[in-house]
A = this chain, B = another copy of it.
Amino acid sequence: MQLIQHIINGQHTSGVSSQTIAVYNPALGQQSAEVVTAVVEDVNTAVAAAKAAFPAWSKMPSSKRANIMFNMRTLLVARQDEVAETISKEHGKTHDDALGEVTRALEVIEFACGITDKLKGNFSRDVAVGIDVTDERQALGVVAGITPFNFPAMVPLWMIPMALACGNTFILKPSERDPSSANLIHQLFAEAGLPPGVLNIVHGDKVAVDALLDHSDVKAISFVGSTPIAEYIYQRGSASGKRVQALGGAKNHMVIMPDADLDQAADALMGAGFGSAGERCMAISVAVPIGQETADKLVAKLIPRVEALKVGPYNQTGNEMGPVISADAQKRIKGLIDQGEAEGASVLVDGRSLSVAGCEAGFWVGGTLLDNVTKDMSVYQQEIFGPVLSILRANTYAEATDLINAHEYGNGTSIFTRDGDAARDFAANIEVGMVGINVPIPVPVAYHSFGGWKRSIFGAHGIYGPEAVHFYTKLKTVTSRWPTGIRAGAEFTFPTMS
Q: Please list the residues of chain A having a beta carbon within 8 angstroms of any beta carbon in chain B.
A: 59, 61-63, 66, 70, 73-74, 107, 110-111, 113-114, 116-129, 131-136, 220, 231, 234-235, 238-239, 241, 243-244, 257-261, 264, 290-293, 395-399, 417-425, 427-428, 432-439, 442-445, 447-451, 453, 455, 458-462, 467, 470-471, 474-491, 493-495, 497-498
Contacts and interface: CB of A to CB of B under 8 A. Distances in A.
A7 to B, nearest CB: 27
Nearest to A442: B479
A31 B258 CA distance: 63
Given A121-B125, A129-B61, A444-B479, A474 B491 contact: no
B434 A477 contact: yes
Given A61-B128, A114-B111, A487-B397, A494 B291 contact: yes
A480 B257 contact: no
Contact of A258 (B257, B399, B453, B494): B494
A125 B136 contact: yes
Tell which of A419, A481, A489 has the most Cβ of chain B within 10 Å: A419
Nearest to A122: B120
A63 B257 CA distance: 32
A459 to B, nearest CB: 7
Contacts of A121: 122-125
* Copies per assembly: 4
26 contacts: A62-B126, A63-B128, A111-B117, A114-B114, A114-B117, A122-B122, A127-B445, A257-B487, A257-B490, A258-B490, A290-B494, A291-B494, A292-B494, A396-B491, A396-B498, A419-B489, A420-B420, A422-B490, A425-B482, A434-B477, A436-B478, A437-B481, A437-B482, A444-B477, A444-B479, A460-B460
Given A120-B122, A120-B124, A442-B479, A487 B422 contact: yes
Given A122-B122, A433-B474, 8 more contacts: A70-B110, A116-B445, A120-B124, A124-B445, A132-B424, A417-B486, A420-B485, A460-B470
Tell which of A121, A127, A479, A493 has the most Cβ of chain B within 10 Å: A479
Contacts of A460: 220, 243, 460-461, 470-471, 474
Contact of A486 (B220, B418, B491): B418
Nearest to A433: B476
Tell which of A424, A425, A445, A478 has the most Cβ of chain B within 10 Å: A478
B495 A448 contact: no
Given A119-B124, A124-B445, A421 B418 contact: yes
Contacts of A444: 133, 135, 477, 479
